[in-house]
Amino acid sequence: MSVRELSFAQAIQEALAQAMEVDPRVFLMGEDIGVYGGAFQVTGDLVHRFGEDRVMDTPISELGGAGVAVGAAIAGSRPVYEFQFSDFSTLAMEQIVNQAAKMRYMLGGKVSVPIVFRMPCGSGTGAAAQHSQSLEAWFGHVPGLKVVEPSTPEDAKGLILAAIDDPDPVLVFEHKLLYKIKGNVPEIMYRTPIGKAVVRRNGKDATVVASAIMVHKALEAAEALAKEGIDIEVIDLRSIRPIDGATIIESVKKTTRLACIYEGVKTLGIGAEISAMIAESEAFDYLDAPIMRLGGAETPIPYSPILEKVAVPQVDGITDALRNLVKGGF
């Protein structure tokens, strides 16, 4: 099996190209995804390879574009709709939440909506409050939607391909700071299973559950703590809905401590759901410390680079928090 080093963005582009090559039902929609190559250059030259009928620039109307994509999915196509920023999906909530998520249920399973929404997300680019949010928990709350969030180029490709194959709507949240990171990616078509987490680092003293950019920050913090004799296990969720509860529960039973780290606002975030999951499971009796949540501050993302970093968990803060968790204090 041929394996090459690709960037996160290149891995997504390869997944899209391979899906389009083997399935004529797959096509792309979004603002500036054609000749311009996408807001983050992810679609690149695909318009030259597949033509404007399959790589379609849409007008500046997220509601309209998403509506056309939902209609196309119901009619038998497999559209991939790219929002320039995940924040702009708020303009298309009617189509995503009230139409795509509910059609199969409301029509008694007689139709499916095999659509993928690509959602560039997260802070760190100086794009300020309306272009830097992490909204995955919003959509994870909606029955009928699946929500995934890769942290590596390998999973970026595998989850895109799995999402395209899925008969239901899948939202793929792609943290903008990850587009340039590189990793080994198989050349063949493969699928990363939706709903299955992966242990990125084995440990015995505490479990960290994270996704996307926070996986990398947690791993960096874990390596720093290893020098102090503190052994952290890091779980990469990969899938926000459905969540792989079994992997998390077994890890917590082993380590007896849990920290949930996420960039979205802490209140009502992913960490709250995971905390409740543990509280309602047999793992609760194994806990030696209260569950810790490290999430975004209760504020819109600031434009100032200094304040932007303060608004979301960073490696130093994660390291300090995990040290306190293992040593018994908060």
Q: Which residues are catalytic?
A: 62, 131
Q: Which residues of 165-198 are buried (b: 16+ CB within 10 A; e: fewer)?
A: bbebbbbbbbbbbbbebebebbeeeebbebbebb
Q: What is the spatial distance between Cα 16 and Cα 20, in angstroms, rounded to a whole number? A: 6
